[in-house]
Chain A
Amino acid sequence: MAKKWFSLVLVITVVSLLAACGNGAGKNGTTNNTGGNTAANTSAADSYPEKNIEFIVPFSAGGVSDILTRSFVEAATGIIDTTITVKNVNGGSGTVGNYELVRAKPDGYTWLWAATGHLSSALHITPAEYTMEDYTIVNKIGDMVGIIVVPKNSPFQTLEDLINHAKANSGELTIGNPGEATVVAMLAYLLEDRTEATFQHVPFQGSGELLPAVLGGHVDAGIMNVPEVASQVAAGELRALAVLSENRVDQLPDVPTISEAGVDGVSGGAGHFIVIPNNVDPAIVAKIDELTKKVYESDKFKELMAQAGYQLGYKNAEDSRAEVEAWYQATGEIYEKLGKTK
């Protein structure tokens, strides 16, 4: 008798739980792509935003993108007159969240905090279910700038030293990156390609693992993002050889850019953009551009970004699109050479 009861309770528990969980999953999974409203509707744009905005972050909570997005939402209070909720949809190097955005309703109430990688270069190597034509870029927020660092007791004082050593001793010099599919790893390959030096690339699982390996001198050099190493550089634990951007970064004004250090064409790929689905009313797109630009220019946002070591740099839709496409081209060639395209 007891056994029967026991079984009954068990079965009921399982069924009800599965039903509950199943519903939740279903809701998340189903979004439709119908109802493309292309007709310009100025009245809709005037009253935008009328409801809550869902802001998709394609990476996990607590990561750099997540913190940047949440900082944006914090700074948007009082500028964008609605509630913005952040939703983390991680997986597939950002492509899972990007795909969710592509499938979202094109009403202007779903945004994506997009990085150059999953918008473009990742499409060369990952099995993503969208193309570069499947989303609309509103504008560019700024860059997470890459940087090349060596331990404080390293013999290399400048980037030139490092490159010359790598050329003289082919494949001897180890350079750590935070993961094979990351943008900064791509920059390491680009550096190799542009200088004709040969490095031994060592992939780590994220910069959290890479940083102690560089500090401890287990690799000769490391390539990662500015905010991750800025305090180590300031404290003299690491020596920065070059930042991988067109202009010097505010946080480390003494570090030369890569072209100042004598190598051209090794920058980019680290931009962040506001992306929405295709077929959103152009008037609403313009309104989103206007509102977000106001947030970028607010003191609060500037202050938060300065704390995070983030380089702001607004670009309009057209220039943003051009930047993403240029990165797609450049990486396509490198992946081709490496034999990594899918």
Chain B
Amino acid sequence: MSEQIIEGILAAFTFKHLLICLLGVALGTLVGVLPGLGPVGAISMLLPITFSMEPLAALILIAGIYFGGMYGGSTTSILVNVPGEAASVVTTLDGYKMTQKGRAGAALSIAAIGSFVAGTIGVILLTFMAPPLARMALKFGPPEYFSIVLVGLLVLSRMTDKSLIRSYLLIACGIVISVIGIDPVSGGLRLTFGLPSLFDGLDFIPVIMGLYGLSEVLSAWENNDTKPVKADLSFRKLLPTKNEFKRSTGPMVRGGLLGFIMGLIPGPASILSTYASYGLEKRLSKHPEEFGEGAIEGVAGPESANNGASTGALVPLLSLGVPFSPLPAILLSAFMIQGITPGPMMIQDHPTIFWALIASMYIGNVMLLILNLPMVGLFAKIAHLRSAVLMPIVLIFCIVGAFSVRSSMADVVIMVIFGALGYLLRKAKMEPSPLVLGVMLGPTLENSFNQSTLIFKGDLTMFLTRPISGTLLILGILVTVWPLIMKLVRMLTSKNKHTAAKE
């Protein structure tokens, strides 16, 4: 056994495999930074090439792209307020604020370091604890997903806006948007207004490109050609300060662990993990008022969570052979093409490949850190361009990004519509992230509710009698209702005092 581990590690350290790993992570970073084409698309385009490669080389390449894509995703969120993927939406909240304050370099560096910390924590947990963790994840069925998502929506949406009603309103709008398309149960069409381009529903990328990117362009246009923030772009100033480092350590470790654990659970838990990490850090912080104004913890936590989650998602794939989301699913395809079935038999059937792959994940994370830190300087310069130059670039970015998802002009139109909506929300001083949360989680909420009611044969009390789901729901309801009760109590007592004073 230990011989095979050493053999695997040695295989990963051969010059050829190191080079392939570097190629993979570099490609992945590129794919992560560029709009539209995500790691899923990139890997599926590369799959035919891997046919003629030997299995280990092919898997190292694909795993490199997988990890690289997670590093690059936050770059555009921080620099220009355009999240390149669902998991980077939260990063815009404080990342972009930091850029506006001239701290783009620090935000990017912390994102890269956080990704490295979380990635490494994740791979260590993956190495030593994968099988029991995967068994734990199987305890979660449709009723549990429903409870997680419902509680997530109720609790996490409040973190960006003080007004409950506004947040819930936006979530509700998001859920309504998410039902556009073919009804998964009856097959009927919903809210498509007879437009064939809406039959398959809205893709997520055009929606966030519009809500964030285009609305940014529109308000920049309105505000005229604002002078960019004067910032010292020397390398020393680009790095985070000692204080920023100190403030980020805790969020990185907590975010990484939180992300890893939530990444084990199927469905959109990995997206929730970024929101959860943000909420957690805001709660723990000594200065919560800084969140939303450029708090470094608001970048460090979610960015680490997002990377931890993508590593966590590999646990069910490698130890059970079950992909829980589209990205591990495409990795499964890559394995199958090579004639390797991931799962309980993999360590026995292909021990060298298994351990070499794990070793390459450690190597890949180190390479990504080395690769990403020098690029911070270059990217930070982009952020400090004048808006007359920068905004057209952002616009191109949004249009190309929206178009490239499905090569469809309809998606560009959708991007423009959401751009207008995002602009109106800005005018109303409303933060769009609850809307995004609703759009992202709506389908899971609906599907898991439908599946649960079928499994329960209509008996909804079973949501509360199943241990995991029941605990989650009761906690969620308490957290949600508690502030209302407190408010009510205060109102009543003050009324009593009032009447008492009158008498």
Contact = CB atoms under 8 A, between A and B. Distances in A.
Contacts of B329: 62, 208
A86 interface: yes
A2 B224 contact: yes
Most chain A CB within 10 A, of B326, B409, B450, is at B409
Contacts of A201: 454
Nearest to A10: B392
A322 interface: no
B412 A215 contact: no
A159 to B, nearest CB: 21
Q: Is the interface of A mostly helix, strand, loop or mixed?
A: helix
A231 B455 contact: no
A171 B186 CA distance: 19
Interface residues on A, range: 35 or more
A308 B138 CA distance: 25
B140 interface: yes
B184 A216 contact: no
B345 A86 contact: no
Most chain B beta-carbon neighbours within 10 Å: one of A14, A22, A60, A209: A209
B399 A61 contact: no
Contacts of B395: 10, 13-14
A3 B225 contact: yes
A70 interface: yes
B336 A17 contact: no
Given A24-B407, A61-B47, A212 B343 contact: no
Interface stretch (A38-46, A105-113, A232-240, A269-277): A232-240
Contacts of A67: 47, 333, 336-337
B447 A25 contact: no
Contacts of A74: 48, 51-52
Contact of B141 (A9, A181, A216): A216
Interface stretch (B83-91, B113-121, B317-325): B317-325
Interface stretch (A172-180, A186-194, A279-287): A172-180
Contacts, number: 162
- B44, B184, B200, B451: residue with the most chain A Cβ atoms closer than 10 Å: B451
Contacts of B457: 171-172, 200
Interface string A205-231: 100110111011011000000010011
A261 interface: no
Nearest to B225: A2
A2 B138 CA distance: 59
Interface in A40-72: 60-63, 66-67, 70-71
A231 B347 CA distance: 13
Contact of B138 (A215, A219, A235): A215
A262 interface: no
Nearest to B220: A6
Given A66-B333, A232-B343, 20 more contacts: A3-B221, A6-B224, A7-B221, A13-B396, A21-B399, A25-B407, A28-B407, A61-B47, A62-B47, A70-B51, A92-B199, A208-B329, A211-B322, A212-B316, A213-B141, A213-B142, A216-B141, A218-B141, A231-B341, A307-B336
The 4 nearest A-B residue pairs measured at CB: A218-B141, A61-B44, A216-B138, A2-B225
Interface of A: 2-3, 5-7, 9-10, 13-14, 17-18, 21-22, 24-25, 28, 60-63, 66-67, 70-71, 73-74, 86, 91-92, 125-126, 171-172, 174, 179-181, 200-205, 208-209, 211-213, 215-216, 218-219, 227, 230-232, 234-235, 237, 307-308, 340
Interface of B: 40-41, 43-45, 47-48, 51-52, 137-143, 184-187, 199-200, 217, 221, 224-225, 266-267, 316, 320-326, 329-330, 333, 336-337, 339, 341, 343-345, 387-388, 391-392, 395-396, 399-400, 403, 407-409, 412, 443, 447, 450-451, 454-455, 457
9 contacts: A61-B41, A61-B45, A62-B329, A70-B51, A171-B457, A208-B324, A219-B455, A232-B343, A235-B345
